[in-house]
Structure 1
Amino acid sequence: MINFNGNLVKSSVVLSSNNRVFKYGDGIFETMKVENSKINFLEDHYFRLMASMRMLRMEIPMTLTLEFMERQVMKTLESNNLTNARVRVSVYRKDGGFYTPKSHTVNFIVETSELVNAQKEEYVLDLFKDYFVNSGLLSTIKTTNKLINVLASIYATENSVDNCILLNERKHVVEAINGNLFLVVGNTIKTPAISEGCVKGIVRKKLIEFIGKHPDYSIEETQISPFEVQKADEVFITNAIVGIQPITKYKKKTFKTIVGNSFSKALNELV
């Protein structure tokens, strides 16, 4: 069962030929993790969704409150008999128009799937250089236009690696295919600044707050070159589903995972 505008539907929603996500990628989404019927970092996901809708000049319904979104997610979970799940909330402008929309009102879809522990002990990273992420502000929100991520995922599969680093037009590190990237360099934790074009990840935000209060480490949001990744002591990826995924190998460099695993435990406690 999926949730379409508050109604539970047994089959997938049939999109019309005028659907704006299909035609123009005119939509955004949030991916959330539910454990024991509790949505992790619900408020952060909700406010990021609202900020993204405002940025894309979508009309936010008065009914789309935090409580409403929580009810819709929980209703969809219950209909699928799930207490631990991966949830995707998609919001997109209603049909009509060419580049210029006929309306700024929106539809929403809530999808749920069984939560699978995706963290791996051995995790290999590579560099994707075929196409670049634009460092502009639009890249920092989760739009439904993810063609670079799709192509990078195909590249990763073809080259038998788990993930890839994405670069911006200045050839600086932006993020991984499905998460934000962190480097451990001595007692400094480095991550690409938002100005580099990385998604404003929820776990990224929580981890930056945690490291900012840590007695042994400092956080630095900065420009990072691909060469710096090889020189780092540790590298890890963060996203809402896995939390923290330590990297064990990048090109010829093998990494430790001590700090990444330590932060992962701390993040779980924070949740």
Structure 2
Amino acid sequence: MINSNGNSSAQENSLIHNRGFLYGDAVFETVKIVNGKILFLEDHYFRLMASMRILRMEIPMDFTMEFFEDQVLTTVSNNGFSASARARITVYRNDGGYYLPTTNTISFLIHTTALENQAYVWESKSCEVDLYKDFYVAKQLLATLKTTNKVLHVTASIYADENDLDNCILLNETKNVVEVLQGNIFMVNGNTLITPPISEGCCNGILRKQVLSLAKKMEGLEVIEGVISPFDLQKADELFYTNVIKGIKSITKYRKKEFGTALASELVQKLNEMIAN
């Protein structure tokens, strides 16, 4: 017998055996599909493989990039999303054991939703942020992975909602800037573009990689992966964040400081040009 919301039942709930639910023993990838093509497919696949290896999951021999691509696109097609879609692929260790698993074999789950826009869209609407200081990101390798343990991001999202903020900036235990709730943060100071290095605990973002590559090709712009303090934010000319689904989003206000949007707007254009080619 189990108790579910006060009701006793002899029928077991599948969640009581799911290690992703019980221990956060799962990783995931969220991809954007446009006209039957997964954007940045290779980057997503290899990040997922690296995450599974770090967590000592057993990768099936048939879990190739072609298999990964086929499974995602088949699911998108079966749901009738022909133009643009979002897919989340969650990989979890199979049932058995408590903290110590009895197997390292895996299962996966894919679900999809339709997206309105195929290209990344530049939005000029306001975006106000502040620091989240109730809990901190750890400066270690596990923090850089996309696991199902996102309780810090959940509590920070609630904090943002309660304080009428559009987003929150997360800090690590040394009180340096890591990222925002939904992506990697970038700061523009003069002709320099700065984003925190992975060693600070930020997610190893797929669009972060693309933006760094594009920015390094722009004449007169110096690109640095460097530590950013909260004090640095108030001296910045521009702040924006990146997310493979949302694209590039400008932060327009942090406390009393308001920011420009010129470089972010230009990068959105360059990103769409890169995807179209």
| Superposition pairs of residues 223-238 of structure 1, within 5 angstroms | 223-238=227-242
Other structure's SS at 1:92 match: strand
- Rounded to whole Å, the distance in 1 between the matches of 2:212 and 2:66 is 27
Q: In the alignment, what sits opposite 2:102?
A: 102
Partner AA of 2:101 in structure 1? P
Contact 1:86–1:113, Cα closer than 8 Å, also in 2: yes
Letter in 1 for 2:224: E
Matched, 1:66 2:65: yes
TM-score when scaled to structure 2?
Answer: 0.91
Provide the rounded CA distance (Å) in 1 between the counterparts of 2:135 and 2:122: 27
Residue 16 of structure 1 deviates from its aligned partner by 3.4
Residue in structure 1 matching 2:205, options 190, 201, 204: 201
| CA pair 104-139 structure 1, distance change in 2 beyond 3 A | same
The more displaced of 189-198 and 205-214 is 205-214
In 2, the alpha carbon distance for the partners of 1:37 and 1:254 equals 39
Once the two structures are aligned, what percentage of the paired residues are identical?
53
SS of corresponding position for 2:133? coil
* Residue 135 (structure 2) pairs with residue 131 (structure 1): yes
- 5+ long unaligned stretches in structure 2: 1-12
Q: Once the two structures are superposed, what CA deviation does each residue of 1:108-132 show, in whole Å capped at 9, x if it has no partner?
A: 0111011145864211111101000
Structure 2 residue 17 is matched with structure 1 residue 18: yes
Quote the residue 1:79 is aligned against: 78
For the 8 Å contact 1:119–1:242, the answer to whether it is kept is no
Alignment of 1:146-161 (within 5 A): 146-161=150-165
Q: State the SS of the aligned residue for 1:128.
A: strand
TM-score (norm 1): 0.92
1:89 maps to 2:89: yes
2:268 corresponds, among 239, 246, 264, to: 264
The alignment of Structure 1 onto Structure 2 pairs a total of residues equal to 258
Given candidates 180, 185, 209, the residue that maps to 2:184 is 180
Structure 1 segments (4+ residues) deviating >3 Å: 116-120
Query: Which region of structure 1 is more displaced relative to structure 2, 111-120 or 28-37?
Result: 111-120
Alignment counterpart, residue 240 of structure 1, candidates 220, 240, 244: 244
SS at match of 1:110: strand
Secondary structure of residue in 2 paired with 1:77: helix
Residue segments in structure 1 that go unaligned for 5+ positions in a row: 1-13
Supply the RMSD in Å over aligned alpha carbons: 1.2
Aligned amino acid, residue 236 of structure 1: F
Task: Give 1:140's aligned residue.
Answer: 144
- How far residue 256 of structure 1 moved from its aligned partner, in angstroms, is 0.8
Distance in 2 (alpha carbons) for counterparts of 1:198 and 1:16: 30
172 and 125 in structure 1: CA distance in 2 versus 1, 3 angstrom threshold: same
- The one-letter code matched in structure 2 to 1:99 is Y
Relative distance call for 1:99 and 1:119 in structure 2 (3 A) is: farther
- After superposition, the C-alpha distances for 1:108-158 in whole angstroms (9 at most, x for unaligned) are 011101114586421111110100000101111101100100001001111
User: Counterpart amino acid of 1:57?
Assistant: R
Residue aligning to 1:251: 255
* Distance of 1:114 and 1:163 partners within structure 2: 23
- 2:17 counterpart SS class: coil
What CA distance in whole angstroms lies between the structure 2 residues aligned with 1:17 and 1:238? Answer: 35
In 1: Cα distance, 2:39 partner to 2:220 partner: 27
SS in 2 for 1:17: helix
Partners in 1 of 2:126 and 2:273 — Cα distance?
A: 23
2:169 equivalent in structure 1:
165
Shift of 1:211: 1.6
Which residue does 2:7 correspond to in 1?
none
Aligned to 1:9: none
CA distance in 2, matches of 1:258, 1:210: 15
Larger radius of gyration: 2
Aligned-residue offset at 1:160: 1.1
Could you tell me how far apart the structure 2 residues matched to 1:15 and 1:220 are?
A: 47
